[in-house]
Structure 1
Amino acid sequence: MNFLAHLHLADISDSHLAANLAGDFAKGDIKHFPKHLQQGLWLHRQIDQITDSHELITDLIKLFPKSSRRVAPILIDLVFDHYLAFYWDEYHQQSLTEFTQKAYHSLQHTAELPEKLQLIIPKVIEQDWLMSYQTRAGLNKAIEGVSQRISKPELFKTAISDVDKLYVEIEIAFRTFYPQLMAYSRIYSRKTPEQYLP
């Protein structure tokens, strides 16, 4: 899952927004991180593990051309954020505008976030990444942005056209899988190991 999905899943499971998002930037043993981040990091890793191993996702990855299959999981995460933003009212009681402001506030006011996350927070807010996922143009910009932040940008050479060709298939996977992931998140938030609870 990408930024918007992790924040949404954190919110519906009543756990810390910024802490959940920090999972993409936090390496190593969770116990080395501040206590107020630990549950979010743990939940983030559970969500990623479920997603990466789910049959719907592994089957979807196989539909991508071999040349871009290595980055297919990243592309799927980005397109899932796009569909979540596009269909937002079906998945959350707050408007997307209100939710993004709450998420940005959490990112700005949470202490001791991983340094790499702290560095991009101003750009995330200034460019309003979460709202931009609603449109295809915003999705394409996100794909281009990710390609510029990895060591092998050539792997994204056909990324936008690959997504275009599989746009419907990815939507079907999202609409089928994401409600399951919402249920998993609520269950895991209740089953967080005691040592990670705030």
Structure 2
Amino acid sequence: MNYLAHAYLSFGNDEILLGNMISDFVKGKKQFLYPPVVHKGILLHRAIDDFTDTHPVTQKAKSVFKTSYRLYSGAFIDVVYDHFLAIEQTAFANDSTLFDFSQTTYKQLEKQIAIMPSAFERMFFYMQSQNWLYGYRTLPGIYQSFGGLVRRAAYLQDSTPAIRIFDRHYNFLQGCFNEFWEDIRFFAFNKMNLLLSDNRTLPE
């Protein structure tokens, strides 16, 4: 799952949200330097990613990108899933609902900017100013996300095949998301509550 899904699957908890969003920027034992609930957000992010990556529907969805992108196919599916979440009407009934959610998320994160990893803080500036979370709703926004993924990847050079694959298999990928969404939402909600019910700082 990508940024929109991790924000949504924080279920309105500010500290869980921060941990969920910064997890990829926190390496090794640095996770234990964060406040306990933020740390649990980091753990939630990693549990969500593991659940997503190993889910049979995700494996099926990744197959359409594998020929062109091999090990990066999962990264493209993360972006694809955010697009279908952005247009999922039980999550976001319309454009305004998603826009309001994006602005609320930025405000929740802004309040905690002092403890963000510096690399995430730099990226957050662009996320907020360009409204990435809302951008996932539009096809140009998804194409731009594919381009950003390619620019950050060490061994990728062109996002054009990804755009063509996405357009060609749009209905199939949407069906995969629809099949997957309730599973990940149920898993994440229960995992978050399990983490929050444990007063210990849990190991990874």
- Mark yes or no: TM-score above 0.5: yes
The 1:123/1:115 distance shift into structure 2, 3 A limit, reads same
- 1:12-23 pair list within 5 angstroms: 16-23=16-23
2-side partners of 1:95 and 1:145: how far apart? 25
Query: Retained in 1: the 8 A contact 2:146–2:162?
Result: yes
Q: Distance in 2 between matches of 1:33 and 1:59?
A: 38
Q: Specify the alignment match of 1:163 in structure 2.
A: 166
CA deviations over 1:42-95 (Å, ceiling 9, x no partner):
1001100101111111122223342312221111110111111112x4125892
The 3-state SS of whatever aligns with 1:83 is helix
Aligned residue number for residue 196 of structure 1: 201
1:162 Cα deviation from its structure 2 partner: 1.7
Partners of 2:115 and 2:147 in 1: CA distance:
29
2:78 partner letter: D
2:46 maps to which residue?
A: 45
Shift of 1:31: 4.7
Aligned to 2:27: 27
Asked if structure 2 preserves the Cα contact closer than 8 Å seen for 1:13 and 1:186, the reply is no
Q: In the aligned structure 2, how far is the partner of 1:71 from the partner of 1:157? A: 14
Partners of 2:31 and 2:157 lie apart in 1 by 36
1:153 aligned counterpart, secondary structure:
coil
Distance 2:183 2:13 in 1: 13
The residue matched to 2:116 in structure 1 has which SS? coil
Amino acid at match of 2:47: Q
Shift of 1:12: 5.8
| Cα distance in 1 for residues equivalent to 2:131 and 2:116 | 19
Distance 1:14 1:109 in 2: 9
Moved runs in structure 1, 4+ residues, more than 4 A?
12-15
Paired with 2:71 and 2:54, the residues of 1 have a C-alpha distance of 15
Determine if the alignment matches structure 1 residue 176 to structure 2 residue 163. Answer: no
Q: What are structure 2's unaligned runs of at least 5 residues?
A: none
Q: How big is the shift at 1:150?
A: 2.1
Q: Percentage identity across aligned positions? A: 28
Q: What residue identity is the alignment partner of 1:17?
A: L
In structure 1, the gaps of 5 or more residues are: none
Q: Between 96-105 and 24-33, report the one with greater CA deviation.
A: 24-33
Question: TM-score w.r.t. structure 2 length?
Answer: 0.87
Q: Which amino acid aligns with 2:144?
A: K
- Seen in structure 2, the aligned counterparts of structure 1 residues 30 and 176 have a Cα distance that, compared at 3 Å, is farther
Note if contact 1:67-1:155 (Cα within 8 Å) is conserved in structure 2: no
Q: What is the DSSP-based 3-state SS (H/G/I as helix, E as strand, rest coil) of the residue aligned with 2:115?
A: coil
Deviates more, 1:128-137 or 1:26-35: 26-35
Contact 2:19 2:40 in 1 (8 A): yes
Contact 2:135 2:141 in 1 (8 A): yes
Match of 2:154, SS?
Answer: coil
Query: 1:82 — aligned with what?
Result: 83
Tell me the SS of whatever aligns to 1:196: coil
Residues in 1 aligned to 2:188 and 2:52: alpha-carbon distance in whole angstroms: 11
